[in-house]
Amino acid sequence: MNLTMNELAPPKFGMGASVRRLEDAALLKGEGTYTTDIAGELTAYVLRSAAAHARISISGLEDARQATGVHLVLVGDDVAGLGKVACLGMGPTKDGSSIDIPPYPVLCTDLVRHVGDAIAFIVADDLNAAKSASELIEVDYDLLPAIIETGDAMKPGAPLVWEDKPHNIAFEYEKGDRAETEAAFAAADKIAELTIVNNRLVCNYMEPRAIIAEYDAGSGQYTLTLGTQGVHAMRDLIAGAIGEKPENVRVITPEVGGGFGTKAFCYREYPLAAFAAKTLGKSVRWVCERTEHFLADAHGRDHVSHAAFALDNEGRITAMKVEFTANMGSYLSQFGPFIPWLAIIMATGLYDIKTAMVNCKGVYTNTVPLDAYRGAGRPEAAYLVERLADQAARVSGLSRQEFRRRNFIKPDQLPYKTAMGQNYDTGEFEGHMDMAMEVADLNGFEARASESKANGKVRGFGFATYVEACAFAGSEPAKAVLEGDGTISLHIGTQSNGQGHKTAYAQFVAGPLGVDYDQIRVVQGDTADLATGGGTGGSRSIPLGVPSVDRASRQLAEQVKEIASAELETAAADIELVGGSARIVGTDRQISLAAIAAKATDPHQLQAVGEFTQDEATYPNGTHVCELEIDPDTGMVTILGYTIVDDFGRVVNPLLLQGQVHGGIVQGIGQALLERTVFDESGQLVTASFQDYQMPRADNLPSFNFQTRNVPSTWNVMGIKGAGEAGSIGSCPAVMNAVVDALDRGFGITHIDMPATPERVWNAIQNA
């Protein structure tokens, strides 16, 4: 069974309603409130390391403290009582031991380990005063050797990031059956193998991080306003870092201009601002500048991988072997060690691979720490297996479609437990691949390629299939409340970062309670209003949140009907909620929701909690197709067409979904063709601004042809599979497979790494 996105006329409410974003009117008129719209009495600035690895000594502190407008200067010794930046997420190590987590101090004392490491926190009347004071602080750097490149971190004699450790290996993971895998490779008819680099990315959300920290000495309460991906986790982490009980810390998150994983973490500036606010008795405001974002916010990706398929004489995969190195940077960030584990568990993709072995070593380097970035491990896995699938098609002499067709997990094998232990529930993988080929007009490609050749260009056709695990097991309770004015407020502990949660959730409130969208208020982002919340990440908000919202709304509707039934002197079953009133079906006898709220004798009658608990992750999947053209004279890559056919189970809002997929694809295209994070030999970040780090722009992108071919999930009660990260997962391998296809057709080049910049493509052509 499959459902296409536009098969039926969309409803006004509920599942499948193409409701335009309710959030946008206020944002477009400048009426939204972001963290930096809130004033603070004082402003903070961070003095950061100019060296990648050095022993430091600090002088000039008294001059800085006496400078005009300065209220506080903190260095490492001043905050020795504060906790460290936490590392929470880890996978199971190969030998079962715990990962030895080195200290991640809020301010460095005697040693810095990457350019941008935090040395001092200066609080002044305004930013200019704080920056001027920072120039009075003299930092003497006794430079130490630095290790920068991921692939060099384990080489003999490599400089140590942590001198008390014997090597730069932070941890080692391994999953699968090594002996069985090696035996399958020994018996293979052919072996396809590939070594690739998954390049480092800087997130670059539109809104940089910021915090306003306040402290009330009378109550002992902190109020911290900052952009997050979930206030409850952030509250607990900051409370731990400043040695406070969570109940003494209130975290408020207003509008958030992009998160992508990178705003989920507790960075140093948050406990520092809270500490300063308490010390000074005034509110302290810190706002990240764009260059600071490059130097201090967690980066993403950065893997070097070698992978291989063992193949039989019919081109079927008999085993898979992967070894990869994951850069952790200089410290272990909040979920940093867990991201490679997600790559491991998804390494086999959509293929029926009975035997596999995946080994990962996480390594330290003198660079910015790495952590989750949109997709978090799943894009790394999809890129690796889909680049390898194209290589295996060449080795086996099969077309790329036929190779995949022979090796896909078949519908009658589902549910299917992969060699990495994941339980895929539903899908028709050949179906979305074939549909994508038809929509993208693969049959007409050769004629288009001939036209490009006549114009002195080479054209490539690439595609990738993908699967991801998202909306992991868990729950997200929702509370629906009938307010005194007849409106509905919905309280839920996820956090919108621009996805449109208010719209999606309101779809499941409006119908059961019979109210218009403008009568619904969605409450997120305040620990004082919400008892619990899992936040937003891993595409969990809609698959886990929507069923809970639906249950809460339906339960509240039943309670409202019970109150109305007494007032209208009829059975609750005879009442419908419509137009903001409770009405006896088939009559004009009705009572408004506001009047019902006034009649309630118990406040609990006017609220209901719904909670759906999911026991397995969901597994969205699909096919991305990219057609592009390369100019051999310049190396310029131009994307001419892009087609996506996705399986997202049941679609909550096709319009919001399309926006999510488009955004993810743009980020993938950025990684594949444009974004390049470069450190020089000394560890200086050369690409630390938009002058040097190229972000995707409109003229880099084609129009997207997005369609769905959906098979509802059986793990999710409403059939939803999750979709927020999918665009970034399927796009990189599709684009790069198209680049390689063009280069292979024109010049016999069968490998190039991301990003396929004009310089890199031109050099590959010249060397060929």
Query: What is the SS3 string spanning 660-727?
Result: HHHHHHHHHHHHHHHCCCCECCCCCECCCCCCCCCCCCHHHCCCEEEEECECCCCCCCCCECCCCCHH
pLDDT at 2: 58
Pairing relation of β-strands 300-311 and 118-124? Answer: unpaired
Buried b (16+ CB within 10 A) or exposed e, 652-688: bbbebbbbbbbbbbbbbbbbbbbbbbebeeebebebb
- H/E run at residue 301: strand 300-311
pLDDT at 10 over 80: no
pLDDT at 3: 52
pLDDT at 22 over 90: yes
In this prediction, residue 767 has a pLDDT band, given cuts at 50, 70 and 90, of: very high
pLDDT at 579: 97
DSSP state of 174: E
Q: What is the pLDDT of residues 711-753, one digit of tens each?
A: 999 999 999 999 999 999 999 999 999 999 999 999 999 999 9
pLDDT at 700 over 50: yes
What's the longest Cα–Cα distance across the chain?
86
pLDDT at 6: 47
Q: What is the pLDDT of residues 610-666, one digit of tens each?
A: 999 999 999 999 999 999 999 999 999 999 999 999 999 999 999 999 999 999 999
Q: What is the pLDDT of residues 256-304, one digit of tens each?
A: 999 999 999 999 999 999 999 999 999 999 999 999 999 999 999 999 9
* Contacts for 765 with CB less than 8 Å, ≥ 6 apart: 632, 635, 743, 746, 747, 749
pLDDT at 247: 98
Crossing angle between the packed helical segments 654-669 and 726-747, to the nearest 10 degrees:
50
- Classify residue 157 by burial, with Cβ atoms within 10 Å: 0-12, 13-18, 19+: exposed
pLDDT at 311: 98
Q: What is the pLDDT of residues 48-95, one digit of tens each?
A: 999 999 999 999 999 999 999 999 999 999 999 999 999 999 999 999
pLDDT at 5 over 90: no
Q: What is the pLDDT of residues 321-331, one digit of tens each?
A: 999 999 999 99
Ordered DSSP codes for 9-57: PPPSSSTT--PPPTTHHHHHTT---BGGGS--SEEEEEEE-SSSSEEEE
Token pair 């619990």 is found at: 532
What would the mean pLDDT of 372-386 be, rounded to a whole number?
Answer: 98
In this prediction, residue 435 has a pLDDT band, given cuts at 50, 70 and 90, of: very high
Q: Is residue 450 within 8 Å of residue 642, measured between CB atoms?
A: no
- Closest by CA position to 674, among listed 646, 724, 639, 719: 639
Q: What is the pLDDT of residues 545-593, one digit of tens each?
A: 999 999 999 999 999 999 999 999 999 999 999 999 999 999 999 999 9
Kindly report the pTM of this predicted structure.
0.96
Q: What is the pLDDT of residues 121-170, one digit of tens each?
A: 999 999 999 999 999 999 999 999 999 999 999 999 999 999 999 999 99
Domains and CATH numbers, the chain: 1-12+425-472+615-768 (3.30.365.10), 474-614 (3.30.365.10)
Cα separations in angstroms, 718 against 54, 409, 599, 714: 55, 24, 34, 8
pLDDT at 563: 97
